[in-house]
Amino acid sequence: MEVLKPVSAVIPVFLLIAAGFLFAHWKKISLASVTEIIVYLGTPCLVFGSLASKPLYVADIAVLFSGIAIMFAAVVC
């Protein structure tokens, strides 16, 4: 079954797409609430998960803090 090995990584993605497509035709929902959940809950979880799974070095922390300081300065000024 070596033929199915490369496809096995994308099968769950296509199944989720199909489930979303079928659900969208079955039930009409407001996308505003879904968007808010993704923006305010999903994205920070992904960022935290990616930061927590990798070791942070002093140089990486300095880059993160400098980026935060630049964004903060741009918003405040």
Model confidence pLDDT, tens digit, residues 14-51: 999 999 889 888 888 777 888 888 889 988 898 888 88
Q: pLDDT tens across 51-70, in order?
A: 888 887 899 889 989 999 99
DSSP calls for 27-76: ----HHHHHHHIIIIIHHHHHHHHHHHS---HHHHHHHHHHHHHHHHHHH
Domain spans, the chain: 7-76
Provide the pLDDT for residue 19.
Answer: 93
To the question of pTM greater than 0.75 for the whole model, the response is no
